[in-house]
A and B are shown apart, each in its own frame.
Chain A
């Protein structure tokens, strides 16, 4: 680690002052407690295979309505990166990924557990995650304000094209057919138009109902598409008991030889994860696969991979944690959520009257610096908490799914109901749950849908403003340099996506 907290060589005095200010905010007892709850719930969610971050975030989103803005966002962010710590535990001990971003960890982590080195695998996953988390916090501090300053100059046409680019990347990078992914993004945009017209205030697609006047809420839609749909997909399969690996967890602190083997992997995983994580649509899963492949490629003994190589745990676990940090950058500086979880976090900002984007840093420096510094504190807490709590998580994993799923559905229902005390929101969630289940079986991924839904209103506004600004001249999107850059990139991505492929992956 070359970045010390007082790294004057890297930051100017003002940034250091801002960081100290940030810590003074995030270390206040209330915010610290919010952070603690966030990372604890996050780890729990990460450990439990049936419950993803998206479901957990949408579950707790309504509960933050009565809280202040800053602790709410600190808590929700804590769930997000905390889940990455927890996901590895299940991968290593049960050979089932607790989070989708811990799939790769199963390969070598479980093998290590079989060889009696579960403690070591869990330890290196935790330390790797901590290092990656720390580095990504400093990455945010360096990059987000800079990008934010750049984005202040953006106008409606630039935003239109930027939203389009973000959506295109998310659709392009999702699994399966590109047509299906773009169709999903379009459905999301369409669903976003339900409710009052953002510019003229006339109702659209409400069909005379009061429930639809304010449009669809993010929470029931997201909870349905991800939380409930996930439960449905699990229910359909045989509800088998999971075999939790029985082992004595000794030696959680990796030995010197383990450190030597994995330090390089942690570094590369962190670097890859962070920079890939910034890009819209990449998320935390793709970097884990890439970093695993990189490690195997450069290893002198590639045959050890899959047989319990410690680098095979260290690299992806660092990558997914670094990616979660990287993903915050476009949200905080451009107001663009690069993945579904960030879309929900953006929902939390908006609910609390904050608009993430270039102005956040100047208008609400307490929120920006408070959230970013809380992530460092949260990582420290996770490192301290995670390892001693593993025996508890193991016991939780033995709770069979038939007992777990009614609770998940119940909490989802409670979560949406608490927003407006309207039972119709539970109905909407149920409908979207079934939709999500059905779509996923047909190979339609819900992620582009939710991003389209979140960006829809702002994209429409920006688009219509651009047209009014240019008096109907569509070339405005090519005449402004930033807009043109985004648009050309978008077109290139779309073209490459529809080129004939040798083989569908």
Chain B
């Protein structure tokens, strides 16, 4: 299925969903519009706008078929999400160390020792920069960092 068809269907569902949810809030009247008024009509507009997109979708193949590696994107997304969930429990430095380690691995950097040193350096340096210098509160986790 072409990408723009999927996107369009998703947007259409999003519009429908928002209109449905907004309908459950009070719509009010034109004289006194309620909280649901604006999002309800926006949802309807979004659904309507997607009808012509749906009909034209998939007609032309715009994607130039050079070798793409979407799996790299999915893995990076997964790593980022995992990082978000572990960073507060594990603490900033260990979590970031693992995070950078995995990402460098993904990007086909070969030298293992180099990766280890680089990940360690980045996690420590960024901790120093953001926490100590800029005063950003970073999670400490179970260890000292």
Chain A positions near chain B (C-beta within 8 angstroms): 62-63, 66, 177, 179-180, 182-183, 186-187, 189-190, 193, 197, 199-200, 202, 204-205, 228, 231-232, 235-239, 401-403, 405-407, 409-411, 413-414, 417-418, 421, 423-424, 426-427, 430, 433-434, 437-439, 441-444, 460, 463-464, 467-468, 471-472, 474
Contacts and interface: CB of A to CB of B under 8 A. Distances in A.
B120 interface: no
Given A237-B66, A423-B87, A430-B80, A437 B73 contact: yes
A236 B108 contact: no
20 contacts: A179-B49, A183-B11, A189-B38, A193-B22, A193-B38, A200-B35, A204-B39, A235-B72, A238-B67, A239-B107, A402-B109, A405-B103, A406-B122, A413-B83, A413-B84, A414-B138, A418-B136, A467-B32, A467-B33, A474-B30
B107 A405 contact: yes
A183 B49 contact: yes
Contacts of A187: 11, 14-15, 46
Interface residues of B, number: 71
B42 A410 contact: no
Considering the complex of A and B, which 5 residue pairs feature the smallest CB-CB distances, nearest first? Answer: A402-B107, A442-B7, A472-B31, A426-B84, A442-B4
Given A410-B122, A464-B38, 13 more contacts: A180-B53, A186-B45, A186-B46, A187-B15, A402-B108, A407-B122, A413-B80, A418-B136, A434-B77, A439-B7, A442-B4, A442-B7, A463-B33
Contacts of B39: 190, 193, 204-205
A472 B100 contact: no
Contacts of A417: 87, 136, 138
A182 B135 CA distance: 41
Contact of A409 (B29, B37, B76): B76
Contact of B38 (A235, A418, A421, A460): A460
A406 B107 contact: yes
A409 B122 CA distance: 12
A183 B46 CA distance: 6
Contacts of A411: 126
Contacts, number: 181
Nearest to A402: B107
A460 B37 CA distance: 9
Contacts of B137: 418, 421
A172 to B, nearest CB: 14
B98 to A, nearest CB: 11
B130 A236 contact: no
Contacts of A460: 38
B136 to A, nearest CB: 4
Contacts of B138: 414, 417
A491 B53 CA distance: 20
Contact of B4 (A403, A437, A443, A463): A443
Interface in B90-105: 96, 99-100, 103-104
A413 B4 CA distance: 28
Contact of A205 (B3, B18, B63): B18
B132 interface: no
B62 A443 contact: yes
B99 A410 contact: yes
A444 B122 contact: no
Contacts of A232: 73, 76-77
